[in-house]
Structure 1
């Protein structure tokens, strides 16, 4: 029996002597021009995707991350999305949740083609929507792809890895400005924004940079067992729509309609929609 440990010691990590150790039954690995891909068959979390030593997703708890990066923004939009852009997220889980809202088109921009192909082969329950006819797979640098685009997207979702290497530029004000321009007037931007406990400095930087660009910025939180500290964050940036002003009765009806057509959600619900935006005191305390 093997054991895998993700050590929380990378750039931007506030925890330096901590990690997560998981029992592994077998492992499959490959190296791409961009990163090392490791697929672990674990005893407790099913198949686990690891990129450059950092856990990205597992069959057991992926629904939390993917539902929460998608549904708060999509339900805040309040209408059928026409065009959605997903940057990163090559495992396909974010696209799977977006498709439940019946968009006209989804563009997935992933820099590493082999991550997508790997997920299609090894993680079909997560990648199942990548072959949907409404989904366009674009293998490119998301930072470059969005430049120059204006008034195109209803939703932009950034499902990126930690701010190390190629992903670093997806955490900067200039990228957020380009995303702002690429959104329609009522469009919504959402990004994963790291652990407010384990990566507090990075999380606060994301929120601060977004506040320079968007008039409405709302960080929100979920609990994901295999992510550093178990506490994770996402942040919405919007020009005019506030997730906290969504009508509760209308939201309840829309969630019910989605579940009738696309199946029950496992984490997100209308109560979570509002409760996730409650901010613990420690996160934004001055250092």
Structure 2
């Protein structure tokens, strides 16, 4: 008998994956955690019934989250990752030898241990000597930071449950304060295709646009995301993600990637018209990439 996992995206739309077997199921203080083995996507991590990532497509998310700001900031030394307990973002960050400090703030210790067991390639990034894990609430951690980080990455993907506070005006304001004078924040902007998700995208962009002088949005194709389409937010005190992109400098690194390229960096900020319309309405002015 076939076993299927389904994630509800709207009352009329589900993502369904045939499942070979359930590898893990548990409940932490913060959330329900499940690991499934699937023929199409390999192992997938599910939190509270929602796919967080899969073996097959997590490289897209991790590369686009990390390489975009790292290719723009001219001299990053300290990075803060809010969330990131799976280690995927940390693993990509550790490819950059100039980074001296990578702080991970993840409240759910059980999630980290599950990922270490079932996703060891991703979680290996957590063992780098530059990485420190703080098992704390991200918003609370930020309240005690000021002028500390070159880059902040909000690795929380869903604005509900225990991560709801990571999508508030207070969070973005505290992130601004925690960044150095030329700091960059990357955050998850969601998937705008379905009406149910569009309102969350609007709310996030409105809040960030009020907090940062530079606020741009870029995109990626992630098959297990709603509609297979995901947006990221790039918020900065000084650097523009396209104008200040060091294309030649990034190429010289010769880092191995599966998704991100120098050409894609620029193209990712060229958004579909319906997404531009959403952003224009929230900003009250014409959307201009450059």
TM-score between both structures, scaled by the size of structure 1: 0.92
Structure 2 unaligned runs (5+)? 283-290
1:40 is aligned to 36
Q: Of residues 196, 211, 216 in structure 1, which corresponds to 2:192?
A: 196
Distance in 2 (CA, whole Å) between partners of 1:23 and 1:255 is 39
Q: Check the 8 A contact 1:100/1:258 in 2, yes or no.
A: no
2:16 is aligned to 21
Deviations 1:171-196 (A, max 9, x none): 11111111101000111001011102
Q: Check the 8 A contact 1:156/1:183 in 2, yes or no.
A: yes
Distance in 2 (CA, whole Å) between partners of 1:163 and 1:255 is 35
1:280 is aligned to 272
Q: Does 1:108 align with 2:109?
A: no
SS of residue in 1 equivalent to 2:113: helix
Q: Check the 8 A contact 1:188/1:241 in 2, yes or no.
A: yes
Q: Of residues 128, 137, 144 in structure 2, which corresponds to 1:141?
A: 137
SS of residue in 2 equivalent to 1:237: strand
Q: Of residues 245, 250, 271 in structure 1, which corresponds to 2:263?
A: 271
1:224 is aligned to 222
Displacement of 1:205 in angstroms is 1.2
Aligned-residue Cα RMSD (Å) equals 1.4
Change (3 A) 1:267 1:256: farther
Aligned length: 274
Distance in 2 (CA, whole Å) between partners of 1:258 and 1:90 is 27
1:5 is aligned to 6
Q: Check the 8 A contact 1:219/1:236 in 2, yes or no.
A: yes
What is the correspondence of 1:44-123 to structure 2 with a 5 Å cutoff? 44-79=40-75, 81-102=76-97, 103-123=99-119
SS of residue in 1 equivalent to 2:79: strand
SS of residue in 2 equivalent to 1:277: coil
SS of residue in 2 equivalent to 1:76: coil
Q: Does 1:211 align with 2:209?
A: yes
Q: Check the 8 A contact 2:250/2:262 in 1, yes or no.
A: no
Runs of at least 4 residues off by over 6 Å: none
Displacement of 1:98 in angstroms is 1.2
